[in-house]
Amino acid sequence: LQAAPGDRVIDFAGAAPLELRDLTIQGGNVTGDGGGIWNGGQLTLYGVIMISNAASGRGGGIYSGTGTTLVASDSFFSGNTAGVAGSAMQVNGATTLTRVLVSGGIVDRQGTATGTATMTDSAMVNGAVLDSNAAFTVSSTWWGAASGPGANLVGSATSTSHITGLSVTPSNATPTLGTSVDVTVTPQLDAGTYDGPLTAGIAWAGANGGATVAVGTNAATGSYTGVEAGADTVTATILWAGQDGGAQALSASTTVTWSAPVLPSANGGGPYSGSEGSSIAFSGVASTSAGSGTTYSWLFGDGGSGSGVAPTHAYADSGSYTGSLTVSDSNGSNQASITVTVANVVPAVTAGPDAILGLTQVLSLSSTFTDPGTLDAPWTYLVNWGDGSADSGTASPGVPLGLAHAYATPGTFLVSVCVQDKDGGTGCDTLNAQVVPPPPPPPASGLGEGDGEGEEDPPPEPPPGPDPGPEPGGAFLASSFKPAARSALSTASARSFVVFSTLVKARSVAAISSRFP
């Protein structure tokens, strides 16, 4: 939180308790008291950094009024200034400071006895603890100086005890994202002069943000898991808490660089080709990382999908398709593109069986077709009847065309049926239509006394001469017609006649047809 020029950051009237956590408060600058915070009630600070605030009066960082309560822990005050007193804070009420590092002065309201203060496991540097007629208790805390008759300070303000060094040891300085790093903070101390606990802290700053991850006594070990590749700076701090006072506040840093995990590679193979309606076999190749649970996911470019190393897929339409293979494991995933060329397949036409029909009959055509390209609509047909006429229209797979045609003349006609899909693929089939002429008219009445409609003529009179006698089997052949019929047959040339011979046997007559010139 940062104030506008000439204003404080937080003006707390105290109507209800206020707690501030994990904030940086800076830039307050007022004429009067309380550059960063003016506390008029019950205020709690946890993990607060109070820096670069100023007041022309008292309490550059915080001014706590009479009867107020201030509780601060795990916080830091530095670079705050006050024109009168208490560059870090002026406390006029009950104040408790725990694990607080203060650079600058703390002052109780001069000439009164309204404030009480307790500092524990903390440190005062570059400033003094000032107290006037109030109970100001400091325990396990290092300070630079103290004054005031009412100060109840443990130890003295001068000491030669100090820390000689600090090491920060990461167990893995080049970890992979998703893994954890343990960092241990260990101080090196002067033998014989160390007489109190140290407060150790570990903080991260860098690619993964900033955070305090561990606080301990004399040593600390913190774990952190990287979530973004890059370098993090690990900073460790040691606050002296010797019972005899003087010491140093030290810090040390190391760098942890997080590397991205090794991802599996993906190779979808190809380019692939095939025909519409037929299965195409795919084959993927992956160079897997150290991750586990490798999977293969395919997108075929037509809305279809598959899984596994070697799936198959049939395309419903011809064309060029671009798909992908994604290989995934516990470390992540990688994707490769695939290309597929699908050829068109022409419709398969069944014209139907050959037909024989009379001149007055109609040829019924129930031709059908199939097409493996189920998205090849519209389909159009063209039927040539073989007599110079044709029919056309639209069709559907498996549905008979249902056409009919009548021929004007007899003969044999080649009927062709062709179906074309939307891609121009054409399939054809043919059949033969044989149209026969009608039978000739019945013979003339002069051929016999019968009417030619199946009635029997009486047996002809035998010619003059001897009786030839019975034929074998008891049949008698009338070998000649009546004189009028014979005359008609002999004088008609280049014509066709139905000649009736009479085979007389058990009074039955058979009609035998033949052609004569």
14 CB neighbour count, 10 Å cutoff: 16
Cα–Cα distance for residue pair 404/352, rounded to 1 Å: 13
Cα–Cα distance for residue pair 123/140, rounded to 1 Å: 9
Specify whether 125 is located in the same domain as 200: no
Cα–Cα distance for residue pair 42/130, rounded to 1 Å: 23
Identify which has the larger pLDDT, 161 or 24: 24
Question: What DSSP string describes 178-200?
Answer: TSEEEEEEEEEE-TTT--S-EEE
Specify whether 120 is located in the same domain as 55: yes
What pLDDT sits at residue 110?
45
**pLDDT surpasses 50 at 347:** yes
Cα–Cα distance for residue pair 430/416, rounded to 1 Å: 4
Cα–Cα distance for residue pair 356/412, rounded to 1 Å: 9
CA neighbor of 89 nearest in space, from 17, 35, 137, 23:
35
105 CB neighbour count, 10 Å cutoff: 24
What pLDDT sits at residue 263?
82
Report whether 31 contacts 4 (CB < 8 A): no
Specify whether 135 is located in the same domain as 40: yes
- Mean pLDDT is lowest, of 196-200, 432-436, 448-452, for 448-452
Specify whether 50 is located in the same domain as 103: yes
The 10s digit of each residue's pLDDT in 319-337 is 999 999 999 988 788 999 9
Q: How is residue 450 written in tokens?
A: 């019968």
Predicted structure pTM score = 0.43
Q: Are strands 69-78 and 426-436 parallel, antiparallel or unpaired?
A: unpaired
Identify which has the larger pLDDT, 454 or 226: 226
Residue ending a domain, among 153, 185, 218, is 153
Cα–Cα distance for residue pair 68/17, rounded to 1 Å: 11
Number of domains in the chain: 5
CA neighbor of 375 nearest in space, from 310, 303, 312:
303
Q: ω into residue 464 within 30 of 0, thus cis?
A: no
CA 60 to chain centre: 56
164 CB neighbour count, 10 Å cutoff: 13
CA distances from 122 to 90, 114, 294 (A): 17, 23, 53
Report whether 404 contacts 326 (CB < 8 A): no
Local confidence band at 129 (pLDDT 50, 70, 90 cut-offs)? low
**pLDDT surpasses 90 at 92:** no
| Residues of the domain holding 171 | 167-258
Specify whether 31 is located in the same domain as 60: yes
**Phi, psi angle pair for 283, to nearest 5°:** -145, 120
**pLDDT surpasses 80 at 376:** yes
Specify whether 330 is located in the same domain as 383: no
130 CB neighbour count, 10 Å cutoff: 19
- Identify the helix (H) or strand (E) that includes residue 329: strand 319-329
Local confidence band at 235 (pLDDT 50, 70, 90 cut-offs)? confident
Residue 514, domain member (yes or no)? no
Report whether 201 contacts 236 (CB < 8 A): yes
Specify whether 366 is located in the same domain as 493: no
Calculate the CA dihedral of residues 127, 132, 135, 138 and round it to 10 degrees. 10
What pLDDT sits at residue 221?
78
427 CB neighbour count, 10 Å cutoff: 19
**pLDDT surpasses 90 at 317:** yes
Identify which has the larger pLDDT, 212 or 339: 339
CA distances from 442 to 150, 291, 345, 435, 452 (A): 155, 98, 56, 22, 7
Residue 147, domain member (yes or no)? yes
The 10s digit of each residue's pLDDT in 158-168 is 333 445 566 66
**pLDDT surpasses 50 at 171:** yes
Q: For tokens 């992540």, what's the residue?
A: 332
Specify whether 19 is located in the same domain as 114: yes
The 10s digit of each residue's pLDDT in 351-373 is 999 999 998 899 999 999 999 99
201-210, 431-440, 477-486: which is most confident? 431-440
Residue ending a domain, among 98, 119, 153, is 153
**Per-residue exposure over 451-462, b if at least 16 CB sit within 10 Å of its own CB, e if not:** ebeeeebeebee
- Per residue, the 3-state secondary structure of 122-142, as one string, reads CEEECCCEECCCCEEEEECCE
**pLDDT surpasses 60 at 112:** no
CA 126 to chain centre: 59
Cα–Cα distance for residue pair 109/63, rounded to 1 Å: 10
Residue 161, domain member (yes or no)? no
- Mean pLDDT is lowest, of 4-13, 70-79, 131-140, 257-266, for 131-140
Specify whether 411 is located in the same domain as 305: no
Local confidence band at 272 (pLDDT 50, 70, 90 cut-offs)? very high
Residue 16, domain member (yes or no)? yes
Share of the chain above pLDDT 90, in %: 40
What pLDDT sits at residue 119?
72
CATH number at residue 328: 2.60.40.10
Report whether 211 contacts 233 (CB < 8 A): no
What pLDDT sits at residue 254?
77
Report whether 255 contacts 172 (CB < 8 A): no
Residue ending a domain, among 153, 179, 195, is 153
Cα–Cα distance for residue pair 11/13, rounded to 1 Å: 6
Residue 511, domain member (yes or no)? no
Specify whether 291 is located in the same domain as 241: no
Residue 158, domain member (yes or no)? no
Cα–Cα distance for residue pair 421/372, rounded to 1 Å: 11
Residue 5, domain member (yes or no)? no
CA distances from 74 to 19, 50, 81, 96, 210 (A): 14, 12, 21, 12, 15
Specify whether 172 is located in the same domain as 223: yes
CA distances from 501 to 335, 490, 498 (A): 94, 16, 10
- Mean pLDDT is lowest, of 129-143, 229-243, 466-480, for 466-480
The mean pLDDT value for 145-158 works out to 39
Report whether 221 contacts 215 (CB < 8 A): no
Identify which has the larger pLDDT, 385 or 453: 385
Residue 160, domain member (yes or no)? no
The 10s digit of each residue's pLDDT in 172-222 is 667 777 777 777 777 665 544 444 556 667 776 665 556 666 777 667 777
Report whether 478 contacts 487 (CB < 8 A): no
Specify whether 214 is located in the same domain as 184: yes
Going across the sheet that includes 332-343, the strands are 272-275, 332-343, 319-329, 295-299, 305-307
CA neighbor of 261 nearest in space, from 181, 170, 330:
330
271 burial via Cβ count (<10 Å: 0-12, 13-18, 19+)? exposed
